[in-house]
Structure 1
Amino acid sequence: MALGDSSAAAYIHMVQHLIERCLLFGMSMEECIDTLSKHANIGPIITSTVWKELEKENKEFFKSYGQWRETRH
């Protein structure tokens, strides 16, 4: 693995961690994208891509999360 690959993986892991923090606050994908863009200087396309990959890997969680968000509002 090249050095650039390692730093890219670390960056993606950091974005994933920040998304997980957004989930703890009950944010939607749009709210998370906006928050990370403003406060962590992470491009919307990066956050969106990582979020969508997390959704693919954790379908049941995101299904439950969406239902929870609907009942919360």
Structure 2
Amino acid sequence: MEFLNLFSLYPLPLEGPFLNPSKCGSLDAGSFLQPDCDRLDELIDEFEDAVKIITIAPELNGAVSVIKEITGRKIIE
């Protein structure tokens, strides 16, 4: 029997922490981080195969480089 990878059926979403603190609504703006590729690595270190949805505020400094990293690694398919 072939192993069923549940993450291929139910990918993990990563909602933040690269969100805009000025648009946080009811969320704690203090928990948001500036987009950074090293921080991305820390967040998804052991779950890169499972994370397929990432929410990021593209207007933040560093967001473009993180988005390029995400797409280059084919994290988002």
Q: Same fold (TM over 0.5)?
A: no
The structure with the largest helix share of the pair is: 1
TM category (shorter chain) comes to: under 0.3
In our comparison, the structure showing a higher alpha carbon Rg is 2
Per the normalisation by structure 1, the TM-score is 0.25
Determine which structure has greater relative contact order: mean sequence separation of CA pairs < 8 Å that are 6+ residues apart, divided by chain length: 2
The structure with the largest strand share of the pair is: 2
